[in-house]
Structure 1
Amino acid sequence: METADMYISGVGSYVPATVGVDDAVAAGRYTAEEVELHGLVSVAVAGDVPAPEMALRAARTAVARSGRSPTELDLLLYTSTWHQGPEGWPPQSYVQRHLVGDGVLSTQLKQGCNGMFTALELAASYLRGGHLAALLVTADNYGTPLVDRWRMLPGAVAGDAASAVVLDTEAGFARLASVCTASVSQAEEMHRCAEPLFPPGVTEGRTVDFAAHNDVFRRRAVVEGDGTGVLVTLDERMAEVIDRALSEAGIKAGDVTRVACMNTSQEIADQICEHRLGIPASRSTWEFGRTLGHCGASDQIVALEHLVRGGELGPGDHLLMFAYGPGVTISAAVVEILESPVWSRTRGGDA
């Protein structure tokens, strides 16, 4: 989706203190072998801070930095990957009540770890209908009984964080040059393999282990022979999505300044940067991400804020963002930095 007329006027995040992987190894929660294999050093842990409260804090920062009043917003999209509060309760209403008020359309998206990409696409389409700006927010706290953050994901540790973006029809510090998503529905078993659809696992207190599901799915694909075609399709679709995002942004891989992938194993970041794009892995945000863990749908937006605030992205630079989620859905987006915002030049990065 070409989005040359869409801008990012504000961005914000809430990232709690981190816990070192060495502490987890000492406690028997993580293994020294996994430390060696994946290269992760710490993970953000929010304790008992609720995800919607983290979302509100990130959203307040993003709106303040955008220069817009909350009353100027026309849309609120809230995305997440994990439980947010009482079942049947919509977390976007918490942000709406405490920040943007009732004069906006607000809804929740459930699109997994690339939910912010879907939010960007939907918001861009909505804003073209004569609206001014949209607030997109995501948050997750995995410190709950039904998941073990240290073993939940293949090649990753689940980190807690929130992030927010104000997508604007008027000039901001960055331009959303493109955003693209594709699906590989024949791989939908990857995140549910061997688990029944009913009754839902959460109603029976079953723990979530995506790593185990992924292992079963891949073993079946190899044993069944033709199942490996799904794995090939996933790789091909990833390449197609990245190529389309670059093409619609009007740039080539060599024009990419930095790459923000999901905060997982170094091997995955290297595969995308060096083997797919042909650019040095040092341009990825992996060194930063390895200190936070995989923070649901926040990885790329937290990285964007970090790079701009630290001066690692400046006017004329391009950030390629990439993610995939259950379904399987694969997304990519290109952000062009237009100027260094005031908050990147102030101490502490405040608005």
Structure 2
Amino acid sequence: METADMYISGVGSYLPATVSVEHAVAAGWYPAEEVELHRLAAVAVAGDVPPPEMALRAARSAVARSGRSPTELDLLLYVSTWHQGPEGWPPQAYVQRHLVGDGVLSTQLKQGCNGMFAALELAASYLRAAPGRQAALLVAADNYGTPLVDRWRMLPAAVAGDAGSALVLDTEPGFARLASVCTMSVSEAEEMHRCAEPLFPPGVTEGRTVDFAAHNDVFRRRAVVEGDGTGVLVTLDERMAEVIDRALSEAGIKAADVTRVACMNTSQEIADQICEHRLGIPASRSAWDFGRTIGHCGASDQILALEHLVRAHALEPGDHLLMFGFGPGVTISGAVVEILESPVWARIRGEV
């Protein structure tokens, strides 16, 4: 989707204190052999802070930075990958009650780790759909410190971190422009995140643990062993390249124009592959050095990286950030953000 008429007027985050990988190894939580393999440094751990509270804190910062009043918002999209609170309770209602108010459409997206990309596409379409609509608030939050999941071992080549992130998508110029956003699917790989687990009853209702790393491993071994099953792995690789090419093309730029790359916060090897083999740019341009210090924070990784890079002056006016992510399904997403100006909040120390 070409989104030249859509802007980012504010971003915000909530990042709790981190636990080092060295501490996790000493405590027996994280395999020592994976330290050198993936080169992750630490993970953000929120303790008992609920995800909706993290989302609210990030949202307040994003809205304040946007210059918008909460009453000027027309849409609230809440993205999550893990449980948010009492079963059957909508977490977006918490942010709506304490910040946005009742005059907007609000809903939750359970799109997985690239849910913010889907939220960007839906929000852009919603804002365009009727005259007078001004801005949308997109939030994401997860806390993996719960039973039935082991943050240190549940993901392949990653550790699950806790965080909240928020972004205000605006029809009026902001500090950045959303130049493009797109998503493609490879539905033949939908088993990757469930493998042989039955569809009913849902595992969480029976107290089954969640282990995406094990599911992923079994899926890939099956693909290699069973006939030409490697075809789906080839399709995934090809679709990944298509998404990146499409995001760049719709933004009107080439790979050489990309200043920084923000992917999911996984191993250094994966970040290097995307930068050097897919884009042909130095791996040093990725946001991996930041991501390795907080873990894979669900759907928040790319928004956290955007905020971090702007605050660190690693993205300046005229620069382009390529954001990239995967989600169950399998869905693959890409987006390009152009920095238009250095926002005030990036120049003032101690700002919200």
TM-score, length of structure 1 as denominator length: 0.99
Counterpart of 1:25? 25
5 Å-filtered alignment, 1:80-229, equals: 80-129=80-129, 130=131, 131-229=133-231
The amino acid across from 1:162 in the alignment is G
Once the two structures are TM-superposed, the CA of residue 162 in structure 1 deviates from its matched residue by 0.6
Counterpart of 1:49? 49
The amino acid across from 2:227 in the alignment is G
- Deviations, residues 105-133 of structure 1 (Å, cap 9, x unaligned): 00000100000000000000000022110
Q: Distance in 2 between matches of 1:289 and 1:79?
A: 19
Q: Secondary structure at the match of 1:5?
A: coil
Once the two structures are TM-superposed, the CA of residue 61 in structure 1 deviates from its matched residue by 0.1
- Deviations, residues 62-97 of structure 1 (Å, cap 9, x unaligned): 000000000000000001000000000000000000
Counterpart of 1:6? 6
| Aligned residue among 292, 298, 309 for 2:294 | 292
The amino acid across from 1:311 in the alignment is H
Q: Distance in 2 between matches of 1:61 and 1:207?
A: 34
- Deviations, residues 149-200 of structure 1 (Å, cap 9, x unaligned): 0001000000000100000000100000000000000000000001110100
Q: Distance in 2 between matches of 1:56 and 1:92?
A: 9
- Deviations, residues 316-343 of structure 1 (Å, cap 9, x unaligned): 0000000001000000000000000000
Once the two structures are TM-superposed, the CA of residue 226 in structure 1 deviates from its matched residue by 1.1
The amino acid across from 1:332 in the alignment is G
Q: Distance in 2 between matches of 1:225 and 1:303?
A: 40
Give structure 2 stretches of 5+ with no counterpart.
Answer: none
Q: Distance in 2 between matches of 1:31 and 1:209?
A: 15
Once the two structures are TM-superposed, the CA of residue 225 in structure 1 deviates from its matched residue by 2.6
5 Å-filtered alignment, 1:52-71, equals: 52-71=52-71
Counterpart of 1:305? 307
The amino acid across from 1:194 in the alignment is A
Q: Secondary structure at the match of 1:113?
A: coil
Once the two structures are TM-superposed, the CA of residue 242 in structure 1 deviates from its matched residue by 0.3
Q: Secondary structure at the match of 1:112?
A: coil
Counterpart of 1:78? 78
Q: Secondary structure at the match of 1:57?
A: helix
Once the two structures are TM-superposed, the CA of residue 310 in structure 1 deviates from its matched residue by 1.0
Once the two structures are TM-superposed, the CA of residue 32 in structure 1 deviates from its matched residue by 1.3
Once the two structures are TM-superposed, the CA of residue 31 in structure 1 deviates from its matched residue by 1.3
Once the two structures are TM-superposed, the CA of residue 272 in structure 1 deviates from its matched residue by 0.4
TM-score, length of structure 2 as denominator length: 0.99
The amino acid across from 1:320 in the alignment is L
Counterpart of 1:232? 234
Q: Distance in 2 between matches of 1:26 and 1:341?
A: 42
Give structure 1 stretches of 5+ with no counterpart.
Answer: none
Percent identity, please.
88
Once the two structures are TM-superposed, the CA of residue 210 in structure 1 deviates from its matched residue by 0.1
| Aligned residue among 254, 258, 280 for 1:252 | 254
Q: Secondary structure at the match of 1:74?
A: strand
Counterpart of 1:266? 268
Q: Secondary structure at the match of 1:298?
A: helix
Q: How many residues align?
A: 350
- Where has structure 1 moved over 3 Å in runs of 4 or more? none
Q: Distance in 1 between matches of 2:9 and 2:29?
A: 41
Aligned-residue RMSD, C-alpha: 0.5
Q: Secondary structure at the match of 2:5?
A: coil
